[in-house]
Structure 1
Amino acid sequence: MSNKYTPGNLVRYRNRDWMVLPSNEDQVILVKPLGGSDEEITGIFMPLAKDVEAVEKATFKEPTPNQIGNFETAKLLYNASRLSLRNAAGPFRSMGKLSFRPRSYQVVPLVMALKQDVTKILIADDVGVGKTIEALLIIKELIERGEIKRFAVICPPHLCEQWQQELKDKLDIDAEIIRSSTASRLDRMVPDDRSVFYHIPYQVISVDYIKTDKRRGIFLNDCPELVVVDEAHTCTLPKGASSKNQQQRYNLIHDIALNKNRHLILLTATPHSGKDEEFLSLLGLLNPAFERLNFEKLEQADRRKIAQYFIQRKRENIRRWLNEDTLFPKRDSKEVGFTLSEETKAFYNELVAFARGISDVETDNENTRLLRSWAAIALIKGAMSSPAMAKEMLEKRHAKLTVEEEMAEIGTDAVEDTLFEENEFGVDFSRSDLLNAVDYKTAELEGLTKLLKRAEFLNEREETDLKIKHTIDLIRKWVKEGFQPIIFCHYIATAKYMEEKLKEALPKNVLVQAITSELADEQRKEEIERMGEQEKRVLVATDCLSEGINLQDHFNAVLHYDLPWNPNRIEQREGRVDRFGQASKNIKTYMLYGENNPMDKFILEVLIRKVREIQKSIGVTIPIGENNKSLMAELTQKILKTASETEQLTLFAEDKIRIDNELEMARKKGENLRSIFAQESVDAETIKKDLQEVDEAIGDPKVVESFTVFALQLLGSSFTPDFEGYKIQTTNLPKHLQVALLSKTEQLKGKAETKIAFISPTPKGYQYIGRNHRFVEQLCHYIVSNAFEEKGNSYGLARTSVIQTESVQNKTTLVMFRVRNVVKEVRSRNESVAEEMYLWGYMENENGLQPINFEEAQELLNEAIPLSNMSIEQQQQLLAIELNSFEKKKDAFIEIATERADKLVEAHGRFKTLIGGRSYEKSTPVLPPDVMGVYILLPKPKDLF
């Protein structure tokens, strides 16, 4: 290939100037229109082009005296040029193509990934910290480096749309959702016998769709180079391999991980449930050697090895990171106690007495003994949630699947887990079937009948339910204060009961809706979005919404109506609103408990408070899964065997010391894990410096805002700033810019007004405008193309200008450059073209020409104020002289380009040290650099008298 077709050079083709991009095909050159977008990248097959349309070498057109404009618009051209750059200079290839500006701490997993030849990483940052963003950064970086061309995100069904939207909003990637409801349509699009997994480059796949043996085999045959697994804790190998669903998920991910050349990213906020075997099965997906580790006897070498693959950080780690504003909301957490009414308390005592009776029956069958014990526990737990749940449990006497059959199918551990740990993802378990599975004696059946009548009585007497009364008072207060709460219940019946009572008690303009697992995943998402359109809203939810799905856009408070028996569930629930991206500065998280309910008091005082205290001290969620289950099982057994409340509370006090000791052991284990995985060894200052240089090269959100506002003003669009953003009138904008700015809904309604904001999280009712938003992209191209008109433009955009100003004491010339460098990795064919805007200048005094640096030139461009309008003729004369002298300054221009190349090498050198990995050859500048604009600043004329 001729030198004129080397990457970074300019060519003339079809009456347009193009920049040559790296190509892996010898007979094909890739070109991108100068000032165009990535969507316009074109491949030219050279053997045919020679005979049809020649590809000629081109030179960049320097400014002319005819392209004079207002000096104030020079910074508009500068910002338009750098905001339109996508292949930004710097070690991170993807930064110019992101629609968001990542925070420093979110770049750490990317650095970890780039340290590996093949990315294998488990990201287990705290709920709400931004694991999705961290994964998106890795995806985009691997794409831009040419290491992958396809990827798949495997996630629970109800998260598919969320991932699809995140990929579109943040990376401008259009991914296809692959699951049962879309499979037929996608199959019809396939042109041959290969699967959709082969033909679709960017995939979001429901884990439940491909976990079966048949689909798993097809997927593995056509699996992309990168796989991201969300909620990876649902894909561990269960202890004893008792859960069929979870075992299928594990087999799927295990088979994916067998390919040593496949990149694998695992995401979860709860990597360790307390069972070392399950955690090791997760780590073993990254490196099979980890399956044999013993966390009690970890060697230092093992710690270092695991830390290469696994990162886990809590909020406190993040808040300390470079003292950066992390935009987490301030959390107001409280425990709200209430007293059971006399009627409810009497019902509780009757429940305990009945439960004690059915669990004390002598039997030689271990499963029957377990069933009776669990049925008693489930009855107390459910009945104390709400009168409606008590009534439902006692009414249901038949089940489609008996618990004996279920135990035979999935094992006793799995049934027990749903009762004590509450950790099966996305499903609501009431375990009322446990009550139905027991063979009752005549006296026991009579007891059930009496309990049912008591439950029906309480269900009809609202005044006896002080729990709902306290809740209504609290929610009414929150709504009045402007909060949009979520009330988490453990049972569907309780959620429906809560919905009914709140609708009766709250004003008609407050939307109250219960969302449970009775709705399909897609329906839950649709209903939540519909609720978000209402100003005042209250969501009543079961734990099917406590993991994975983001609710921070529409809700900012959480009430735990039923205390979870697994303390980690509390963090999951609260993490739906207390997360990165929450628009509210303040959120509320309250727990409701019965002050005279022994079970509530034990859970709160002995378990939840102690666990939270430990988590606060060590900074990570402690793994207490096995301990938690045994503690709750033992506690409930003692409740059944102890007659009075006083005796129960005495027993709790006696057990507290032993339980504290068990939790202390869990604390030490958690602290040990925390010491391995926090990744505080990554050099924060190096990442910060690189991101700051990227901000300068391509523009940060503040630059996007100032550019957009200035450009709208120049184009004649009226706008009104407010506290959150701007209200824009689009009538005077060119048609293509109107289409790019207005939403489809606004266009269909014929509106010419919209609200925009430049901050993330974006205020409700506003459209987020980032550097990669289609409106900003088209606005940049429009400004640049108008500035480059040969004979000036109607907007006064300046490629050249001459002003008098008090900002200089001597004649000063500013030169705006666009610099391109070709960067090549050692031992690789991979090349990239890195672009940046650069300001330089020189001052004329008695000593000749004195160069001024970037910072000085930038300050003059931004701050210099013209004193008076010079005539066009005067400006043209001075510019003609100055531009004619540029031929003598070519060496200086080349020196600048070389210095920028060296600066890029320096940045890559820092990056190489940071990741301890890839090295680069010297960056090669494309010479000469493009001269985008020239501006002459003259000192204020001296007074004659």
Structure 2
Amino acid sequence: MTTTTQDTRTAIAPGSVVVVRDEEWLVRATEHTTDGTLVHVQGLGELVRDTSASFYEKLDNVVPLEPAHARVVADASPQYRTARLWLESTIRKSSVPLGDDSLTVATRGLADALSYQQSAVRKALDPENLRPRILLADAVGLGKTLEIGMILSELVRRGRGERILVVTPRHVLEQMQHELWTRFALPFVRLDTPGIQRVRQKLPATRNPFTYYKRAIVSIDTLKSDKYVASLRKQRWDAVVIDESHNLSNAATLNNRLARLLARNTEALILASATPHNGRAESFAELLALLDPSAVPADGTLHRDEVQRLVVRRHRHSPEVAHAVGADWAERQQPNNVLVPATPAEDAVALELEQTWLWPDSGTSPYSGQNSSLFPWTLAKAFLSSPAALQGSIDGRLGRLGHDEQAEAERRALERLTALNRETLDARSAKYDRLVAHLEEIGVARNSETRAVVFAERLETLRWLHQALPNDLGLPTEAVEVMHGGLADDVQQGIVESFKQEHSPIRVLVSGDVASEGVNLHSQCHELVHYDIPWSLIRIEQRNGRIDRYGQKHPPRITALLLNPSNDRFAGDVRVLAKLIDKEDEAHTALGDVASLMGRYDVKGEEDEIRAVLAGDKQLDDAVRQVEEVAAGDDLAALFTQLFDAPAQSAAEAEPPTGHTEDGGTGLYEDDVEYLEDALREAFIDPTAPPERGGVGWRRDAAFGTVELTPPRDLVQRLEVLPQSYLTDRKVTEKLLLATTTARGSDRLAAALRDDSDSTWPDAHYLSPLHPVLDWAADRALATLGRNEVFAVRGTVDAPTILLSGTLTNRRGHVVAASWLTAHFPATDDASFALITPHDSMPDALHTFGWDAVRSNPGPVDDVATLQRFVAPAVHEAEKHLRTVFDAAERDTADRVERWSRRLQHWDAEADALIQRSEIKRRRTSVEHERELVEAMAPDQQLVRPLLVVVPDTEGSAR
């Protein structure tokens, strides 16, 4: 085996130190490419301390330092601070092994500890899958963004998240960036319109922007353009997240082209969608094939086991979710459907629509274009929205009419309709008056905190409401805001972020369906109004999910306003639309999925079905299935219902990972704050002094759970990817304020929605384990030792003892297994005999020589030169021991790789008979790429490093 050769001691593996261009670097990861081994490193020397770099072995002389030749140096610092810091930083920089499926950092951010979310993270990390690939298909409101953040956090801690790309719709770019930073301390650059402009100012036109930023959030509309595709082809990612991934399933679209490109170029792939399939097995198979091309047989059939392996699906009333959310997700109230009697003027328009356009007395409508059955219903739908919307549809059609006889007849009919509609524009609208009354009834007023979201489909309706509501509600103009897809992405994001803030002047948000997907509007609002009812259950569910989601403290109320003409036939249509609201509510409770009721799985398809119902071509019960029928069926919808409504596996806390205590530490420090403070005291003579006097203005307020410091330039550089508005408004680069407890962090996060600033970003950011300030402190601490040195310290041992770490890595540079050992030399005059003791964890190893408590340092260890002779034997004996220990891990990984290889071979055999089909040729390319990745998962390198040389402490210095 490769891991048993003598050469492995000098192999380049994560955690080893290499010398390149006469500077020392810590190896973060290695990658075998077609151009040779690529080594990703972090600088240790003074000149490169804050530098990340990558070197090809073929181009640079990458010299690994031989651990057995490490030079012993004495630590003279108070309480062995330098050695403790170096050891702690080394552990923090060491990746958690791939096979460890426990949660190391995901539960230590500002996300509530919800068992159903944790089970999704564990599923994504399941080592049986070799690569993290998952579709998060939880229903609206369950917190898929938090699940994404938790998964990414764990990938980072495992050394699998250095380069991450997150792809979202435009209007949720800032929301995603905000969640990943404020809850998980993962800084991403946001490449919205202003962000891309800044990149263009910084980089030459020929520079690949995706090599400049390691972690980026960008919209799918931006990324799918040809301008970026060429750059993406040359870029490899550790993880890619694609939100709203139901838009990827059509193989003929640019979205799908982008997804296939990213899927090939990333190791981890996370897809997220509350509506993950369109009812067609082949489209859903396309999504599964993005995750794992071998999961879908060559003939395209779906297997329940493969779906279960790759997909997570729960809804509000799934047992696992209902048990976890408790009072943090108030149950919605019964739908409030309000029938509004039409005014005489509106009745006249309705009658004209009925007799001339929908069910004409002459037998045919005056429409002169093609698809004459559609345009009359376009007019009807616009009428049910608002007089302004109807006039917009009329004017648009008039502008397109020709001048032949049939067009002139249609023009006369439209002009008659215009004359009738003008009276509704000049008079009061019954539905509008009822909206004003409803908003007043729920408490929307000048001096009230009550807010409401009002959804409408038509842009003319939105503008009309935006203009009229402030005056009729007695509100200032800024109290009513409008949002629609025609606004720039940064404007849309600004409106959403403002609505979340308590001090925001916005009391009524009038929005089109651009805000119906992905946007969180529940923090200050639990009232939603459908000013017009979409002819789609999917759209209704998406709208309702903006306020009916986890974290909603007040029972959300959904109100639908329905204009009710007096003529029976049109009134019957309105009652059909009212039933859609009730059907959505029923499916929300029983299925958590409304798309399966109509079986069309997209908004347009559902609108076509409802149009057929309204036209009398189909009964509503034929268009919309019963909940029971869906659950008992044998289609894709039934598969989802039956498979994912069952109680999930318990998400009880797993055993802590090797080398970590249950709170995620090593035992050397009580918490992250103590570690950070010690690092600052080591790096600066007096960290409490201001920067001009050589400090960082360090202040700690334990009572309030905060610390602050003035970030040095090399720390500021790590924060510059965050929004400039945030850095400026909160003065982050002048004074970095950190919350040191989850309670304080949550309080400051909530306070950002209440204070009088214009930012939803907190003034004190939570110091979670992955925070850049801790990574910065670790890099500084690792630079304290010289080239290939190891500290000598005292401890509760009776003879020289050496602490060592061992890792087993694969060709992709991932840590497959890790171990902690001590080498004890009972006969000090015989350095050839060492007793090797393995330890279950780092805290266990520290306990054996009394370093689980802070120890005083009476001075540097004497005669360190005599200790040098123990280092090489300790390393060699540890290597021998680990060959046996790692053999089991190697066999386990090899077995998993072999099982995966057999999957690929089986797929290949089935594909041979269908190779002439173009999609099979495309998918075979993906399978071949998968095979290369699988082969690279096999372990091939072992590294043993000495960490401390411990000699007997005759004075007993622990305290």
Q: What range describes the TM-score normalised by the shorter chain of this pair?
A: 0.5 to 0.7
Distance in 2, matches of 1:379 and 1:112, equals 53
| Aligned counterparts, 1:360-509, within 5 A | 360-361=359-360, 362-363=362-363, 374=374, 377-379=377-379, 381-385=381-385, 389-394=386-391, 397-399=394-396, 439-440=409-410, 445-446=415-416, 448-458=418-428, 465-474=433-442, 476=444, 480=448, 486-500=453-467, 503-504=470-471, 505=473
Say what the alpha-carbon RMSD is for the aligned residues. 6.6
Residue of 667, 673, 696 corresponding to 2:639: 673
Amino acid across the alignment from 2:91: R
Aligned: 1:606 with 2:607: no
Q: Is 1:823 aligned to 2:809, yes or no?
A: yes
User: Aligned equivalents of 1:903 and 1:479: distance in 2?
Assistant: 70
1:530-550 deviation digits (Å, cap 9, x = unpaired): 666772344624334335544
1:473 CA displacement: 3.7
What SS is found at the alignment partner of 2:737?
strand
| Aligned-partner Cα distance in 2 for 1:186–1:909 | 51
1:509-559 alpha-carbon deviations (Å, 9 max, x no partner): 985421112313343224444666772344624334335544469755451
Q: Which residue of 2 aligns with 1:644?
A: none
Match in the other structure for 1:82:
91
Partners of 1:721 and 1:312 lie apart in 2 by: 42
Name the amino acid aligned to 2:436.
Answer: I
- Measured at CA, do residues 450 and 851 of structure 1 come closer, stay the same or move farther in structure 2, by a change above 3 Å? closer
Aligned length: 836
What's the counterpart of residue 774 of structure 2?
A: 776
Q: Determine whether 1:232 maps to 2:245.
A: yes
Residues of 1 paired with 2:193 and 2:79: CA distance?
53
Q: Which whole-Å CA distance do the structure 2 matches of 1:90 and 1:149 have between them?
A: 15
User: 2:557 corresponds to which residue?
Assistant: 590
Alignment counterpart, residue 614 of structure 2, candidates 617, 629, 636: 636
5 Å-filtered alignment, 1:321-340, equals: 329-335=328-334, 337=336
**SS state at 2:396 partner:** coil
Helix, strand or coil: the match of 1:465? helix
SS at match of 2:535: coil
Question: Could you say what secondary structure the match of 1:819 adopts?
Answer: strand
Q: 1:778 to 1:115 in 2, by over 3 A?
A: closer
Deviation at 1:458, TM superposition (A): 0.4
Aligned to 1:6: 11
What secondary structure sits across from 2:486 in the alignment? coil
- Provide, for residues 884-905 of structure 1, a one-character-per-residue CA deviation record: whole Å limited to 9, x for no partner: 8997899888877877887777
Specify the code of the residue in structure 2 equivalent to 1:607. L
- Residue 591 of structure 1 and its aligned partner are, at CA, apart by 0.9
Quick check: 1:559 aligned with 2:540? no
Look up the equivalent residue of 2:709 and give its one-letter code. Answer: T
Residues 224 and 346 from structure 1, CA distance in 2 versus in 1: closer, same or farther, beyond 3 angstroms? farther
Partner-residue secondary structure (3-state), 2:394: coil
Q: Which residue of 2 aligns with 1:540?
A: 509
Q: Residues 785 and 443 (structure 1 numbering): CA distance in 2 closer, same or farther, change over 3 Å?
A: closer
Q: Percentage identity across aligned positions?
A: 16
| SS of residue paired to 2:543 | helix
**Aligned AA (1:115):** N
**CA displacement 1:483-527 (0-9 Å, x = unmatched):** 765433333344344445654547769854211123133432244
1:931 CA drift (Å): 0.9
* Equivalent position SS for 1:772: coil
In the alignment, which of 730, 746, 752 is matched to residue 709 of structure 2?
Answer: 730
The answer to whether the 8 Å contact 1:13/1:55 transfers is no
Letter in 2 for 1:545: V
1:270 alignment partner in structure 2:
275
2: distance between equivalents of 1:514 and 1:88? 47
Instruction: Tell me which residue corresponds to 2:353.
Output: 355
How far apart, in 1, do the equivalents of 2:655 and 2:102 lie? 16
Asked whether the equivalents of residues 88 and 698 of structure 1 are also in contact (C-alpha less than 8 Å), the reply is: no
Checking the alignment, whether the CA contact within 8 Å between 1:81 and 1:784 is kept in structure 2 is yes
Q: Is the alpha carbon distance of 1:750 and 1:309 closer, same or farther for their aligned partners in structure 2, counting shifts above 3 Å?
A: closer
Contact 1:67 1:799 in 2 (8 A): no
- With the length of structure 1 as denominator, give the TM-score of the two structures: 0.66
1:521 aligns with 2:493: no
Q: Is the 8 A contact 1:375 1:438 kept in 2?
A: no
Change (3 A) 1:506 1:87: farther
- Correspondent of 2:539 among 559, 569, 575: 569
Give CA deviations for 1:126-154 in whole Å, capped at 9, x if unaligned. Answer: 33555567678889999999999998766
* 2:805 counterpart letter in structure 1: V
- Aligned equivalents of 1:658 and 1:747: distance in 2? 57
Change (3 A) 1:931 1:884: same
Deviation of 1:468 (Å): 1.9
Residue 811 (structure 1) shift: 8.7
* C-alpha distance in structure 2 between counterparts of 1:568 and 1:217, whole Å: 31
Cα distance between partner residues in 2 of 1:820 and 1:92: 16
Partner secondary structure for residue 271 of structure 1: coil
Question: In 2, are the aligned partners of 1:10 and 1:59 still within 8 Å (CA)?
Answer: no
Answer yes or no: is the 8 Å Cα contact 1:682–1:914 preserved in 2.
no
Structure 1: unaligned runs, 5 residues or longer = 238-245, 406-435, 642-651, 791-797, 803-809
Aligned residue in 1 for 2:700 = 719
Question: Following the alignment from structure 2 to structure 1, what is the Cα–Cα distance between the partners of residues 89 and 128?
Answer: 31
Which residue does the alignment assign to 1:104? Answer: 118
Preserved contact between residue 198 and residue 222 of structure 1 (Cα < 8 Å)? no
Partner Cα distance (1:565, 1:312) in 2: 26
- Decide whether aligned partners of structure 1 residues 711 and 320 sit closer, same or farther in structure 2, where only a CA change above 3 A counts: farther
Specify which of 579, 590, 611 is matched with residue 617 of structure 1: 590
The match for 2:76 among 66, 74, 77 is 66
The one-letter amino acid of 1:82's match is I
CA contact (8 A) 1:155 1:230 kept: yes
8 Å CA contact 2:285–2:296 kept in 1: the answer is: yes
Contact 1:820 1:833 in 2 (8 A): no
Instruction: Measure the CA separation in 2 of the matches of 1:276 and 1:905.
Output: 43
Query: Gapped runs of 5+ residues in structure 2?
Result: 1-5, 112-116, 565-570, 689-697, 721-725, 753-761, 827-834, 901-933
Equivalent AA in structure 2 for residue 771 of structure 1: P
Q: Is the Cα contact below 8 Å between 1:578 and 1:587 reproduced in 2? A: no
